[in-house]
Each structure stands twice: as C-alpha cells, then as structure tokens.
A and B are shown apart, each in its own frame.
Chain A
Amino acid sequence: KAGVTQTPRYLIKTRGQQVTLSCSPISGHRSVSWYQQTPGQGLQFLFEYFSETQRNKGNFPGRFSGRQFSNSRSEMNVSTLELGDSALYLCASGSQGSGANVLTFGAGSRLTVL
C-alpha cells in the first residue's frame, strides 16, 4: 500500500511569508502527527491530529498551526516565517490516536527561509 506522502519536498521562502505543507497518511490511518527537525534542536513534536481533532500540541508558538480533513489528509501552516523556521518538517501516520501507535514517517518537507 502507498506510504505517507508529503508535499512539497523542498521549498524556499523569505522572512515574513507563510507556508503550507501537506501530508497524506497511509490509507485507513486516522492519526497524523507533525515534527520539526533542526541541527540544533533535533526532532521536536509539533502537534497530532486524530479524526480531524487536534489531540496534542507541542511547545511551539501560535504561528504554527495545522488541520486535518475528513479524508485524514493533514496540512500544517507556518505564518510570518522566521529564519529559525528553516528545518525538515516530518509527518507520521498511525492507525490509533494514542501513544501505542506504530508510526510511519513521510520523507519530509525541507523548508529554507531566507
């Protein structure tokens, strides 16, 4: 079956712009979680959606938001981009909305903010 699809794979933005990233989970999976990876901070949890509801949220400012659609596809949005938002953004899908969730990761979207 198809894996987790993230689009776009690479993008370049300038400070102050906004960006929307998309994640299509494995068919039948209802949980999508998002992560930011930077060389300095490593991997950090952004938020998790299950059946269109945000279940959990990490410690990121309100400029980072997300949503999940009825077909389980999820988007995350970052507004008023800062240089420090340059990172690899990963999403993962799971069949359950709990910690006991085997995760399948997408290839990531690499964002560069100039």
Chain B
Amino acid sequence: KNEVEQSPQNLTAQEGEFITINCSYSVGISALHWLQQHPGGGIVSLFMLSSGKKKHGRLIATINIQEKHSSLHITASHPRDSAVYICAAYITQGGSEKLVFGKGTKLTVNP
C-alpha cells in the first residue's frame, strides 16, 4: 500500500463546478505539497502545508494532521484547470526525509 493515497484517480467536471481532490497518508509527515502538472510534463507547486488551510485565488488547500488527510478544492472550475494534481508528503523515516508522491488525479473540466 502506498504511503500516500489520492482520490479520485480521474475526475470530469463541468465549467463552474466546485471540485475536491483528496489525499490521505499513513505515517507522520513534516509537510504536504500540492502540485499541478500540465500535459508536456511541467510541474508547478501550488501549496505547501504543515497545518490548517491556505488559499490562492480559486484554490484552497486544507490539512488535518490528526486524521492524516488533506484536500485540494477548486472553486468555479475552468477548462484551464484541466491538469493532473498530485499530492506529495514529506515523510521522515530512519532519520532521513523523503518526498512520497500520490498517483495523481487527472482533472478534466469541460466548457
């Protein structure tokens, strides 16, 4: 079982819809990242969270440390939001840290 699980794997929405992508992890973490990857491979860091909630434009990210769960919300979705969204947890194991990635959520927003 992967240490970082994302759901759903694929998500199709109509323009304007509210979108939620979930990420859960099984071990203690020091931080969690939400990343966006467009076709062609380029990755953009959207948020880095260690507690609470962050907002940037139409994007909101939350994290619940006790429940080991994070969500990424997109309000008023737009076709340009179509991309793969990846959560990644910074995990400490045996004195070293590593970034462990979820499998990604492919979002398609139709006009």
Q: Interface residues of A, CB < 8 Å — how many?
A: 26
The answer to whether A45 touches B96 (Cβ under 8 A) is no
How does the 8 Å CB contact mask read for B68-102 relative to A, with 1 for contact and 0 for none? 00000000000000000010101010001111111
How does the 8 Å CB contact mask read for A41-55 relative to B, with 1 for contact and 0 for none? 011110010000001
A66 at the interface (CB under 8 A from B): no
Number of A-B contacts (CB under 8 A): 60
Separation of A37 and B103 alpha carbons in the complex (Å): 11
List chain A residues, Cβ under 8 A from B97: 48, 55-56, 98-99
Task: Identify which of A92, A100, A110 contacts B50 (C-beta below 8 A).
Answer: A100
Q: Chain B interface residue count: which class?
A: 20 to 34
Sample (6) of A-B pairs whose CB atoms are under 8 Å apart: A42-B102, A43-B104, A100-B31, A103-B48, A104-B45, A108-B42
Question: Could you tell me which A residues sit within 8 Å of B by CB distance?
Answer: 33, 35, 37, 42-45, 48, 55-58, 88, 90, 92, 98-105, 107-108, 110
